[in-house]
Amino acid sequence: MTHPVSPPSSTFRLIVTGGGTGGHTYPALTTVRALRARLTAGGRALDVLWIGTADGLEARVAPAEGIAFTTVATGKIRRHANPVKMLGPANVRDMARVPLGVAQARKAISAFRPDVVLATGGYVAVPAGLAARLCKRPLVLHEQTVRLGLANRKLAGSAARIAVSSESTLPLLPEAVRSAAVVTGNPVRPEILTGHADRAVTALGLAGFDRRLPTLYVTGGAQGAQQINRVVADALPWLLERCNVVHQCGPANVEALRAGAAALPPGLAGRYHLTGFVGPELPDVLALADVVVSRSGAGTLAELTALGRPAVFVPLASSAGNEQAHNARHLEAAGAAVALEGDVTADRLRDALGPLLTDPARRAAMADAARTHGRPDAADRLVDVLLSAASER
């Protein structure tokens, strides 16, 4: 005797876990928005619970989006090349918190009864991901970087699906979990793809820019990057003879850099726009930019490749697992960027930028190579994975 298949509930229930930084938080948020839009179009609703930490970025982002938020105990594992030193008092103390976090997450998951759990990395994902397995709820991991982060490595064996951002990740996965892997890309905010160069000129007041020259966008992230600021300041007159520069330096660094640029000749000074922070106008600034100098975090790579922007990356040496260096090398090997590691000087920056600023054909070739690694539809691909995993439980 066959039994009729019951139709799906009108409400899809999703638990999101992950965060700490924007690299883990914003891809999750973008995916939630894409999932909600997909379900709404089909006449269904979305109910979301985010399991995070009280002091992570997700604690602000989720409630601002109207997403229910709860916290569980977790611990930060401090990495060290020497395994013995991994067993230091701080690590032992924090690892002891994980079982408590698993129990708390299990209680939340049992009460919420999600159709699927999405884990995007960060320490909080470990207890929540393990609890998903105990509750027999499908777990989908999303990895933003080329190599699996520590949390996702711990959870890989429990996952129904492992969504990765790059084809290059697949051979790096343990053989036992490769069959669960699917390449989705790293979700990019849709507004990033809708910028207009002329709007940036108007919004930032770039009347002194020479539009016959290429425009360089320099960014060190929201707080700026002292290393990038220093080498750009040292190379500034040389740069302004060849391009316009929008320099996002971090709010705390504006005055010192402005004082250093005060001696620029008026003709060159008009091509230099210094700002502490770039906010809603970022899509327009990226549309204006012909070349970008930046760190090589996963979110930055996703945006620049989706747009097809040539880039010179200065990886953050202290990034977890040296992931920024791996990201930058990955794109450099594909001809989609230049990676500057180690002691980055003004001379090395000039050597990297010179061919790009003076040769439009070289810029175009690098832009094409970057675009082949971009997945502007990554959020929709990840939504497909979530719906598929939920349907199979």
Write the DSSP string, 213-232: S-EEEEE--TT--HHHHHHH
CA distance 84 to 114: 39
The least confident of 8-12, 240-244, 266-270, 277-281 is 8-12
The sheet with strand 181-183 has its strands ordered as 68-71, 45-52, 11-17, 116-119, 139-143, 161-164, 181-183
pLDDT on residue 6: 47
Whether 11-188+377-391 and 190-372 share one fold: the answer is yes
pTM: 0.88
Domain ranges of the chain: 11-188+377-391, 190-372
pLDDT on residue 51: 98
CATH topology of domain 190-372: Rossmann fold (3.40.50)
pLDDT on residue 49: 98
pLDDT on residue 96: 67
Is the Cβ–Cβ distance between 46 and 35 less than 8 Å?
yes
pLDDT on residue 80: 47
* Helices 226-240 + 254-261 axis angle, to 10: 20
Mean pLDDT of 244-252: 96
CA distance 165 to 187: 9
Mean pLDDT of 135-148: 95
Class of domain 11-188+377-391: alpha beta
SS3 call for 113: coil
Is the Cβ–Cβ distance between 18 and 110 less than 8 Å?
no
| Per-residue pLDDT tens over the stretch 198-236 | 999 999 999 999 999 999 999 988 788 899 999 999 999
Half-sphere exposure of 345 (CA within 13 A, CB side): 4
| Per-residue pLDDT tens over the stretch 306-338 | 999 999 999 998 776 788 999 999 999 999 999
pLDDT on residue 90: 56
pLDDT on residue 76: 60
| Per-residue pLDDT tens over the stretch 61-75 | 999 999 999 999 986
Mean pLDDT of 181-202: 96
Is the Cβ–Cβ distance between 15 and 128 less than 8 Å?
yes
| Per-residue pLDDT tens over the stretch 3-51 | 454 456 799 999 999 998 888 999 999 999 999 999 999 999 999 999 9
pLDDT on residue 335: 97
Q: Is the pLDDT of residue 78 over 50?
A: no
Average pLDDT for the chain: 92
